[in-house]
Amino acid sequence: MKVCVIGAGSPYTPELIEQLAGMKEALPVTEFTLMDINTERLEIMYGFCIRFIDFLKFDVRVTKTSNRQEALRGSTFVITQIRVGGNKARINDERIPLSMGLTGQETTGAGGFAKGLRTIPVMIDIARDVEKIAPDAWIINYTNPTGLVAEAVIRHTNAKIAGLCAGGTFAQVWVSNALKVSPDDVRYDFAGLNHMNFSYNLTVKGKPLTPDEFASAAEQNGSIDKELMIKLGALPSPYLQHYYHTSKKIGDSLNAPKTRGEEVIELEKVLFKEFADPNVNTKPESLKKRGGGGYSEVATAVMEAVYNNKDTWVVVNVPNAGVFSFLPDDAVIEVPCIVNAAGIKPLTQGKPPEAVWGLISAVKNYEMLTAEAAVTGNRDAALLALLAHPLVGDYECAKILLEKILEANKDYLPAFIK
């Protein structure tokens, strides 16, 4: 079994290797190919991974390449974790909206829009290469904005893709921590989109949570007002703080000395210095500050389900297919699914709280327009996407914002530059 990682220079790669090393019986990986267009980061990560697999006693062949087609040949799974434009582009995604008094965040609002425009064309190219070179392979995608990526790849290619995010497991963790139960015993209905979702009808071993138990679980979500969650009857994704506490979040960001992207650039300088140290053969402690951990468990759960035809409950980004009547059937949503060798099947969900229908629908409308704009370079679709987004919504503002985003990202948006 060959696993190929596109964007292997990411600091998340060691977590994936560690997870696979602990699953040698279930996922007998024989080759691990690292691919990245940033040759400096690739060389550093390759050297570290060689030392790390030796430390883990993981019997696997590790290869590296900057040639995507070469990396894909013979792959069973293709893990994508790219960042088009790097963290420098992320800083623009944060700073440009903030300069206009809007939310500046890498996956939410205008920042997520900019990242989607850059990322979707590259991910479609990768998916088309997978179709030609490794047609039986599954793409396990963690490239953000993963919901937008899944929307575009599913619409424009026939590649098999699982659009994943660790956020689908947050409610399990919150309930588990609050009630001291196993996460595997926690189930819930789940409605929404990537980084814009709600967990509701929560149960432990099939038994609904009492009001007090729900309140205890809500306390574990430190991003949303507890009283609001109780009124909603749902646990929102932490990213909903940008919708429900908009003024506070924008104020905090404007008053912060640095954006998250600026912090990450400084952190990764330290991280890659440690990765490059020939004496370092385990994950550096500073990796914990990078955030985003936990994705490898979800990725490998899907891989194991497909490889061993093992029915597995996982939250995945898939076409709606009638799950929620207030959204188009072909709209990609984030929803619990059963995954096995036959593919990914979304599960029927209970009726979500009425107070969230409109917000989900508005953001889905924005996502579908953004995916169209990213593929076609259509400026009208791009403008209408920003206008449709609840965190933008003003026409004069959207026009100025679009031009600023297109100018800042012109090196990555050939479809828009006629």
By annotation, the residues acting in catalysis are: 239
Cβ distance 42 to 64 under 8 Å? yes
The amino acid at residue 166 is: A
CA-to-CA distance for 318 and 312, rounded, in angstroms?
Answer: 15
C-beta of residue 299 within 8 angstroms of C-beta of residue 161: no
- Residue 278's nearest CA partner among 44, 34, 57, 33 is 44
Q: Left if phi > 0, otherwise alpha if psi is -120 to 50, otherwise beta: which for 232? A: alpha
Q: Nearest Cα to 233, choosing from 340, 353, 379, 133?
A: 353
Tokens found for residue 17: 């290797």
Sheet of 343-346: strand order equals 61-65, 31-35, 2-6, 77-80, 138-141, 160-163, 312-319, 332-340, 343-346
Locate 389 and state its tokens.
């987004």
What tokens were used for 359? 């917000």
Alpha carbon 159 to its chain's center: 18
Q: How far apart are CA 312 and CA 309, in angstroms?
A: 9
Task: Name the DSSP class of 142.
Answer: -
Residue 347 tokens read as: 């599960």
Instruction: Please list the alpha-helical segments (H only) found in 316-378.
Output: 357-376
What value does the CA radius of gyration of the chain take, rounded to a whole number of Å? Answer: 21
Write down the residue that tokens 């434009």 correspond to: 85
User: 365: closest CA among 94, 151, 97?
Assistant: 151
Q: How far is CA 334 from CA 96, 204, 207, 237, 324, in A?
A: 28, 22, 24, 12, 11
Q: What is the largest CA-CA distance in the chain?
A: 59
